[in-house]
Structure 1
Amino acid sequence: IAQLENQQKSLGVITQNIDGLHEDAGSHNIDELHGTLNRFYCINCYEEYSKSYVMTHHLKYCEKCGNVIRPDIVLYGEMLNQKTVFKALDKIQHADTLIVLGSSLVVQPAAGFVSEFKGDNLVIINRDATPYDHTASLVIHDDMTSVI
């Protein structure tokens, strides 16, 4: 994905993963629906810190206000960042191709995003069948890592 981006292909990544691997691979246009472990923030003043800074300095408390810092991820029971959700939906609604990689497309709200896609080419690569297979231009039932 990062290689396509480096070839000046216009694309965006929408992910539910929190591992930060898209960023680590060099992708830039990423909407992380559940946040990322690559970023931390203060629960009081919202000062942001990179993962590397937190790990290098063994940081547990905000250097600005002294309050607790936490990973910038969505925990169970917390709301998704609405700005990120709307940005992701906008990308999907204006895309001509949507490639879904390694998702069962059953966990909401992200599973419902596919129904917002109005483009011509829906590609689904997943080990098992999904509820959207019948609408896709191309479906590959295999392990994503072996296909990619």
Structure 2
Amino acid sequence: MHEKNYEYSVLVNWLKTSNEEEARLTLTDFQAENPKKMLFNSNPFQLPKRLWEYLLTKSKIDEELRWNNFSGKKFNKLVNHLIADLYEASGKTTFKEEFVTAGGVKLGDVNMQTMESRKCPGLFFAGEVLDIDGVTGGFNFQAAWTTAWLASEGMS
């Protein structure tokens, strides 16, 4: 990324298939079976609800649109977003906004010597699934590596 000055494109296929024809067929079949349902309430691909709603909104599809009225450019736009969703990256931040996830499994629920769950023996945790966070620059990497090592030792 450095060589490209942190400017690049990412093409995301949100479906298990990379085939446009299969995506169209799935949508058409679902449309025929569910003509009265609203698109926002019925997802033929079992994508997470918020992702499905995001892709519909990005495709400029009205929240009240029903499957029997769905066709044309909006249909094509949704297919495109489902199998070839383009995102542009341009540079990196200079304000240290590159924070990792926060929240997760409470540390009090984990044996910190073995990383084993106190609530579910035999279940081990490591990295960002734990409620550990800090500014970037190595802290989170070190926490992930250390907890993974402790968990592997605890399992053995």
- Give yes or no for TM over 0.5: no
Q: Which has the higher strand share?
A: 1
TM-score (ref. length: structure 1):
0.24
Q: Which has the higher helix share?
A: 2
TM-score (ref. length: structure 2):
0.23
Q: Which has the higher contact order (CA 8 A, sep 6+)?
A: 2
